[in-house]
Amino acid sequence: MSQDFAGLWVYLSTSPLLGLTSTLLAYQVAVWLFEKSGRTPLLNPMVVSVFMIVAFLMATGTPYRTYFDGAQFVHFLLGPATVALAVPLYNQLPILRRAWPVILLVVLVGALIAGGGAVLIAWVLGGSEKVMLSLAAKSVTTPIAMGIAERVGGIPSLTAVMVLLTGISGSMAGAWILDLARVRDQAARGLALGIAAHGIGTVRALQMSEKAGAFGGLAIGLTGLFTAVLVPLILGLLR
Amino acid sequence: MLPYITVLLLCQLAGEVLVRLSGLPLPGPVVGMVILFAGLVIRGRVPDGLEQTVKGIFANFALLFIPACVGVMVHLEVIAAEALPIALAVLGSTAATLVISGRLMQFLMRSKGGDTP
């Protein structure tokens, strides 16, 4: 009997089915918990799902790569979902026409604070060089951030971790921080979330309003572009 | 729904091709977003089916980030070794960015005429 079970596990652990199913299952359990708790930001469904899956993978000794073989089917949909952000953006066309210089200026300032501020704090606290280089691009969507890290001598996979930690903190605390700072304008809330916390922040913005989501989506691309240009330039001046 | 998912994928494909050919420092999907945006501006409105499809995708957007986030477990050792600088750098700069860019945008939008509802 236990032999059968071991055989079954060997089969399941090599098939993409497990990674895919556990992702969907964990997410739905997390959403259920979130609703049951009266939507408390502490039980952010994405974060809770990640904890559940990591605990499951560690308990079963499953490597991340094996899990990702299945989960990549969900991961792949990030691409078309990013493209889809053009729709809420289009619905904000009148504001974009009027306010594009303001938007560019705010994204430039925000991108400098996001990257520069993180590196500065880590430097003051005695972070290692590899951590500091990986922090520089942390507010940028993962593919751009990894490209920047590669160019400046950081570690791309560690950068991806910083990007995700940033996204998670922006998603969990973003609404609260913006409330505290009395930022009520939906365009400003969305843009700030997109600059500070890329796609994960934009998901949070979309939950606030379509308008906030549109500006978040806009900020993902612009912050990525500015950071990709600025980080190698500034590091070149410092070295 | 299916035709509109195809449209999204086609835009992404065009974005990827454009990035590869031009060497732009942007991911393909972001360029795909710009292409779809340009298409919508030319067309002058969002087709109902596309609006519905996009709503469906956005309803579960958070799900799509889970596989990447689980990857944090691979780097737990580095994170544990420098937990304090990493945590404060991430939290501090994220909070500062949110407050400063949010306030600046709100201020500039209001001073530009204040007609945001």
State residue B78's pLDDT score: 82
3-state secondary structure chain A: CHHHHHHHHHHHHHCHHHHHHHHHHHHHHHHHHHHHCCCCHHHCHHHHHHHHHHHHHHHHCCCHHHHHHHHHHHHHCHHHHHHHCHHHHHHCHHHHHHHHHHHHHHHHHHHHHHHHHHHHHHHHCCCCHHHHHHHCCCCCCHHHHHHHHHHHCCCHHHHHHHHHHHHHHHHHHHHHHHHHCCCCCHHHHHHHHHHHHHHHHHHHHHHHCHHHHHHHHHHHHHHHHHHHHHHHHHHHHHC
State residue A3's pLDDT score: 67
Q: Is the model's pLDDT at B116 over the cut of 50?
A: no
Chain B, nearest residue to A79 by Cα: B29
Mean pLDDT across the stretch A14-37?
93
Residue partners of B56: CB distance under 8 A and separation at least 6? B1
pLDDT digits (tens, 9 = 90+) for B97-113: 999 999 999 999 987 65
% residues pLDDT > 70 (chain B): 95
Chain A, nearest residue to B103 by Cα: A183
CB-based burial label for A60 (10 Å; 0-12, 13-18, 19+): middle
Mean pLDDT across the stretch A23-49?
93
Phi and psi based region of residue A152 (left: phi greater than 0; alpha: psi -120 to 50; beta: remaining): alpha
Gap between the terminal Cα atoms of chain B: 32
Q: Is the model's pLDDT at A62 over the cut of 50?
A: yes
Are B88 and A67 spatial neighbours (Cβ–Cβ below 8 Å)? no
Cβ of residue B75 closer than 8 Å to a chain A Cβ: yes
pLDDT digits (tens, 9 = 90+) for A170-218: 999 999 999 999 999 999 999 999 999 999 999 999 999 999 999 999 9
d(CA A86, CA A92): 10
Residues of A in contact with B75 (CB under 8 A): 157-158, 161
Q: Two tokens at B110?
A: 């209001």
Report the range of poorest mean pLDDT among A86-100, A143-157, A158-172, B28-42.
Answer: A143-157
CB-based burial label for A2 (10 Å; 0-12, 13-18, 19+): exposed
Phi, psi of A228 (to 5 degrees): -60, -35
**Which run of H or of E encompasses B40?**
helix B28-43
Q: Is the model's pLDDT at A25 over the cut of 90?
A: yes
What rounded mean pLDDT belongs to chain A? 90
State residue A2's pLDDT score: 63
Residues of B in contact with A99 (CB under 8 A): 108-109, 112
State residue A131's pLDDT score: 87
Cβ of residue B37 closer than 8 Å to a chain A Cβ: yes
Residue A53's nearest CA partner among A42, A43, A62, A40 is A62
B67 and A75 within 8 Å at the Cβ level: the answer is: yes
C-alpha angle B16-B17-B23 in degrees, rounded to nearest 5: 85
